[in-house]
Amino acid sequence: MMQQYWRVKADHPDTLIFFRMGDFYELFYQDAETAAPVLEIALTTRGKSADKPIPMAGVPVHAMQSYLLKLVQSGFKVAICEQMEPPGQSKGPVKREVVRTVTPGTLTEDTLLSAKAHNYLAALFPGDGKKKPPAIASLDLSTGLFEVMALADWDQAAAELSRLQPAELLVPEGWPPPPQMDVWAKRITRRADLLFTPKHGAATLLEHFHAGSLDGYGIGDSPSCQGAAGAMISYCQETQREALGHIVALTRLHPGEGMLLDDACRRNLEINASLSDGKRDVSLLGVMDQCRTAMGSRLLAVWLNRPLQDVQAIRVRQAAVTWFLERVDAREALRAALRQMHDLERLLSRVALKRAAPRDLSGLRAALHLLPEIHRQLGAGLEGFPSLLDVLSSHLTGHEELRALLTKTLAEEPPAQLKDGGVIRAGFDPDLDETRQMAHSGRDYLAQLETREREATGISSLKIKFHRTFGYTIEVTNAQLDKVPAERYIQKQTMANAVRYVTMELKETEERLLNAQERLLALEAELFAQLAEQTAQHAAALQKTAAAVAAIDVLACFADSADRFDYCRPLVDDELIIDIRSGRHPVVERFAEQTFVPNDILLNGDDQRIALITGPNMAGKSTLMRQVALIALMAHVGAFVPATEARIGLVDRIFTRVGASDDLAGGRSTFMVEMTETAHILNHATPRSLVILDEIGRGTSTYDGLSIAWAVVEHLHGKSRARALFATHYHELTQLERLKPGIVNHTVQVKEWRDEILFLHTIARGAADRSYGIHVARLAGLPKSVTERAKQVLEDLESADLRAPVEPGHKSAAEPEYQLTLFAEPPPSPALTELNALNPDDLSPKQALETLYRLKELL
């Protein structure tokens, strides 16, 4: 047996082997030592090899998935090596084969996946720096969503990986990744270089799709896309050991079709998860997701992370949302029906990969029965029916044949597992009905036999039970052993409180019953496999239906949110205007304890291109800037937005630089991280971009920070010409409004009252004259002695260009303030300048003395 194990291990050297032995999956040697602490199971031994005990650890078959989840979440791959025949059927070890390799990017079971999130496997074709650019293919094996994109540069590649957040990334074995790939190092799986070649990729794809050309998939002219997509299919074929029947389409994406969002933008705007705890709930996705199906929730995440760049496509979605918004009763009935919808996409994948359980097919049957109601509530055929909903509704019909087949074949309430029996409906197959009757009559005969034996022996506690080792036995308690007829009862097992026996009649009955049950299960398994195969043939049409249901769910969700939270339909056009009236932060307003204060903002490509925002901390500058970016983002996915009125000119990319963080592992300080991110923005922003910059320059000295902030604003104004919101405490920057047309000062208002400040959270034209930092420090709980001392220092510094006094209330003589600078040495003092210019040989004693006194006064 161990020779068999080593043959399997040799074929999967970098994979943990789950080696099936009866009711357990066992791990041996290094696999056991690696997995035991992760799974928190006992590490034992089995036999010896080279006079050393063989390490072993095992998990029960029935609990395999929970253990698999732990290993996969820890980054391991696991090969499932199953017994392919019953023990004892042949001489020698039981035949075993690897039936599947489970990896982080190839999960399909609901218990191993998040229902509301895609689980992407990505494959990267690095390109050659010449005619073949980089390309990334992505696949969610659990849904069949398969896409590929050729990219212009590594900046786009990094943004695409940020969008996908792949659980696993396939790259060529000999490829040295650039620094942008460092963040994905732990998720990389290296594959043979040959598998990424366009020639191999094209051949793999043509064979998989049974096609003569790849032109119909949009990649006939892209060797890069062929290499990435082909490597993806090769890997899935190798790990799944089954035909990938649910992967029936490949969509080519193009970088210009969607708004580009980098990782910093997604993180800072909290699009998918909150910054505080990394959870989904308190994020834009979390508050927008009022979908009724898992498919809808996943599609919403796709839309939010790749907003549209086509005005007409956005307006088409808006029209569908408006239709639902205006038909309240129909919308609520539709959403009630959607709530009952099973996850068609993931059901289909398990059917295609031959992993479907009986309840997967019954769930599909229930979903097909819901489709007519969903179609009816859409209102197809009514005047003004939106074009998008017309297309989507056309994919909800045409499944009558499959629905009828599933209805007549499957039992009304099938069991969770095929081995439990009762999967196929009575009356569907005569042979099955006859075998089922034989099995049931055998159980009835056992009940009758138990009654007869009680009467014949007078043993009132006698019971016939099934034992996994001994089969059916007669169990007699110790108190009534004296009544056992020794001539007929053959003892099989003695227990603490009872003894188990068999009789010849019981053994004959057991044989008939087990044969009937075995045949019954085999017949049901055969019929179920046929049903699953017939269902898989409908995969292409069913996937279109699933996609339509998901889109309908998202659009109805947008309408429901607009209705409940008073959102408006934004005007989206090709202009460079962002005009928001009474805008609100979609996340903050949902969780705020007080009424959220709305604000107006206007940006354009001309006289109000950059909003320079000043005001105290806690006044709401950061919230306002994020709010504008999120409203723009929501408008680009076709959703309504939290405002009374909004006009959003197309945005090609949203850039954000907010907050303070360092990169200790990378050896970068907070300021270095800030400057790196700012450089990225300045190098990539265009007039169509929206830039959010918060407190640029605060990580260094005042003069350095001010000069950097000033230069950044000038660059945005003169070079990038992007629409921007720039928050700062450098009040000197407000002079730019006078110097640079297109820069407009805004301030977040506060009200002073009895030496306290009241945050009004309203924005107005103009500049703040104070930062109120000491007031905020007091609110934060700094000791009173510290804040009082700070007030004294502030008064001294504001009265003149002075150094901070050494003692409270004491002002030192006026002195120039020198700061360490990044750009130059501090200027020399006047005394030093004069001293350097002196020639002592030219001075008389009197002149030397007078010069000495004068220099002393300059110090």
- Pick the last residue of a domain from 719, 738, 766: 766
Residues 186 and 153 in one domain: yes
Helix (H, G, I), strand (E, B) or coil at 662: coil
CA atoms of 51 and 29, how far apart (whole Å): 14
- Residue 532, Cα to own-chain centre: how many angstroms? 30
Q: Considering the domain boundaries, does residue 184 fall inside one?
A: yes
Is there a domain that residue 466 lies in? no
Show Cβ contacts of residue 737 under 8 Å, excluding neighbours closer than 6 positions.
612, 743, 744, 745, 767
pLDDT the model gives residue 807? 42
Q: Could you tell me if 249 and 127 lie in one domain? A: yes
828, two tokens: 């020399």
**CA separation (Å) from 574 to 47, 149, 279, 626?**
74, 25, 35, 22
CA 344 to chain centre: 20
Please check whether residue 549 lies inside any domain of the structure: no
Q: Give, to the nearest 10 degrees, the angle between helix 504-536 and helix 344-352.
A: 110
Residue 659 pLDDT: 67
Where a domain ends, among 206, 233, 255? 255
| Residue 12: CATH number of its domain | 3.40.1170.10
Q: Rounded to the nearest 5°, which phi and psi values hold at 557?
A: -65, -45
Binding residues, as ranges, are 615-622
Distance (Å, whole) CA 164 – CA 139: 10
Q: Binding site residues for ATP, as ranges?
A: 615-622
- DSSP 8-state class, residue 5: H
Could you give the number of structural domains in the chain?
Answer: 4
Q: Give residue 827's pLDDT.
A: 58
**Enclosing H/E stretch for 274:** none
CA angle, 262 as apex, 557 and 297 as ends, to 5°? 20
Nearest to 555, CA basis, from 387, 442, 412, 698: 387
Interior angle at CA 179, CA 177 and CA 180, nearest 5:
95
* Residues 86 and 196 reside in one and the same domain: no
215 CB-contact burial (10 Å; exposed 0-12 / middle 13-18 / buried 19+): exposed
In a domain, 594, yes or no: yes
Residue 442 lies in a domain: no
Residue 483, both tokens:
């009544």
Residue 531 lies in a domain: no
Write down the pLDDT at residue 814.
42
Residue 129: the pLDDT is: 72
Q: What pLDDT was estimated at residue 278?
A: 86
Same domain? For 579 and 694 the reply is yes
Q: Tell me, yes or no, whether 73 and 11 share the same domain.
A: yes
Same domain, 614 and 692: yes
The position carrying tokens 């050393």 is 52
Residue at token pair 């569908």: 320
Which backbone phi and psi does 397 adopt, to 5 degrees?
-115, 175
Do residues 51 and 197 share a domain? no
CA-CA-CA-CA dihedral for 268, 272, 275, 280, to nearest 10: 160
Same domain for 140 and 250?
yes
Residues 673 and 729 in one domain: yes
Same domain, 75 and 126: no
Angle at 21 between CA 18 and CA 24, to 5 degrees: 70
Residues 15 and 42 occupy one common structural domain: yes
Query: What are the respective helix, strand and coil percentages of the chain, to the nearest 5?
Result: 45, 20, 35
Residue 512, domain member (yes or no): no
pLDDT score of 584: 97
**Angle made by CA atoms 472, 474, 477, in degrees to the nearest 5:** 140
Domain end: 206, 230, 255, which one? 255
Tell me which amino acid residue 636 is: H
Answer positive or negative: Cα dihedral of 412, 413, 415, 416: positive
- The stretches in the chain having pLDDT less than 70 are 88-89, 659-668, 754-755, 769-772, 774-775, 794, 797-798, 800-829, 858-859
CATH number where 121 lies: 3.30.420.110
> Is there a domain that residue 474 lies in?
no
682 and 588: one domain? yes
- The enclosing domain of 589 has a CATH number of 3.40.50.300
CA dist 174 and 33 (Å) reads 30
The reported pTM is: 0.85
Kindly list the distances between the CA atom of residue 144 and the CA atoms of 68, 273, 528, 531, in Å, as whole numbers in the listed order. Answer: 22, 25, 23, 20
* Residue 433 to residue 438: CA distance in whole angstroms: 9
Domain encompassing residue 694? 571-766
Query: How does pLDDT run across 527-562, given as a tens digit for each residue?
Result: 999 999 999 999 999 999 999 999 999 999 999 999
